[in-house]
């Protein structure tokens, strides 16, 4: 896990504020799908949709307030950053879920799909949890 992602305001991004509800995962996946299609970064789409689902699910389960903010940023021709901002200052942590637990694997999945390029940025009002995905070394669709 990386502690802080560099702030890059000039990069193209799609962002949406969503209700903090389980149904929002579908809308977050739609946003990722749209961004990867527009940018032609098809090789990361499936992994990115899983990552945004996991990050959003954590926010739905553990954050406060009624909304969360989802952002998909294009870092380069083959790399994106997915971020979920919520109003809780509690930092998420990877944990080892037992085989009988139904949850607790989300951040492990995020870490695996991002090659360990994920992190948490503390904010004055909450936090930003992000992950970077790259199509490097993969073939495009």
* DSSP label at residue 16: E
pLDDT of 118 strictly over 80: yes
pLDDT of residue 113: 95
Position 95 pLDDT exceeds 80? no
CA separation for the pair 29, 22 (Å, rounded): 12
> Per-residue pLDDT for 140 more than 70?
no
Q: Token pair 């954590």 is at which residue?
A: 58
The whole-number pLDDT of residue 56 equals 95
Would you state the pLDDT for residue 141?
Answer: 39
Using 50, 70 and 90 to split pLDDT, how confident is the model at 30? Answer: very high
Distances (CA, A) of 107 to 7, 8, 14, 27, 77: 22, 24, 23, 20, 26
At which residue do the structure tokens 């085989």 appear?
Answer: 99
Question: With 70 as the cut, is the pLDDT of residue 2 above it?
Answer: no
The H or E element spanning position 67 is strand 67-76
Nearest alpha carbon to residue 86 among 132, 28, 125, 31: 125
84 pLDDT above the threshold of 90:
yes
As given in the structure block, the two tokens for residue 64 are 């406060």
Q: Which of 81, 71, 69 is nearest to 131 (CA)?
A: 81
């Amino acid at each position: 896990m990386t502690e802080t992602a560099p702030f890059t305001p000039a990069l193209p991004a799609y962002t949406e504020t969503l209700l903090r509800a389980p149904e929002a995962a579908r809308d977050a996946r739609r946003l990722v799908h749209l961004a990867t299609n527009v940018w032609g970064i098809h090789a990361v789409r499936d992994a990115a949709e899983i990552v945004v689902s996991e990050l959003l699910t954590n926010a739905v389960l553990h954050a406060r307030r009624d909304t969360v903010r989802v952002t998909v940023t294009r870092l380069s021709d083959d790399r994106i950053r997915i971020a979920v901002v919520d109003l809780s200052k509690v930092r998420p942590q990877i944990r080892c879920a037992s085989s009988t637990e139904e949850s607790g694997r989300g951040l492990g999945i995020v870490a695996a799909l991002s090659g360990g390029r994920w992190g948490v940025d503390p904010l004055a009002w909450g936090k930003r949890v992000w992950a970077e995905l790259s199509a490097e070394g993969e073939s495009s669709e």
